[in-house]
Structure 1
Amino acid sequence: MITKVKATAKYVRVSPYKVRQLTPLIVGQSVAEAQRILSFTDKKAAAAPLLKVLNSAIANAENNDGLDPDELIVHTAYADEGPTLKRYQPRALGRAYRIRKRTSHITVVVSPAEEN
């Protein structure tokens, strides 16, 4: 039986484009290596919530399914687009520019290494 454990964070106030730049870096890596990559990357705005979801997936695997965290790898990681907050910036001559504050739904799936 293949055991895949998932963790999701919804409505995270970071653009999905920024998170999607980091997801290919961690897919297929062991969870320790993925945590290391996210800790030392330059893209802290997207790495912090992604690391938080990864840690949550590891905790779910350990506490809910009794899996050993040292044997887990990142099976998949993706960021879907959430609702966009629309704001307006005043401009010259009575105009207004739209500001789109994007949100993400971040999902990380981990599984034991021998089952992939």
Structure 2
Amino acid sequence: MCHLILFMPLLGLAVFLIWPLSLAGPLYAVIFVLSVAMYVLIFKAMRLPVVTGSEAMLRSVGTVLRKEADHWQIRVGNETWEAESADSLKIGERVRVTGIDGLRLQVKPDSEAEIVSHNTIMLKH
């Protein structure tokens, strides 16, 4: 069904079989312009960043909560995650997620993040 939208200009050529050129021409022009507008919106939507799943977690910023036996507990958004880091971390430090291994995040200290308010993080320029 969704592929029919891509063929709308082609299917619109049928108006030339039904109506005379003076009516079919402007109607087809409207169909064509609407199709091009939809294509632009479709391509813009396809280029939006992923906002769900593990892909959205990458490059997000979290806060170190505590050190467990072999991993760290960090808060990313409103969730607490287990994390590993090759660098030494401090409790309360900002970290950036660099990878995901199952349910454990790989993180590194984030020197670019700065707390602005309770739940907001702003990146320095």
Question: Per the shorter chain, which TM-score range?
Answer: under 0.3
Determine which structure has the larger helix proportion and give its number.
Answer: 1
Larger relative contact order (CA 8 Å, sep ≥ 6):
1
What TM-score, normalized by structure 2, do the two folds share? 0.25
Larger radius of gyration: 2
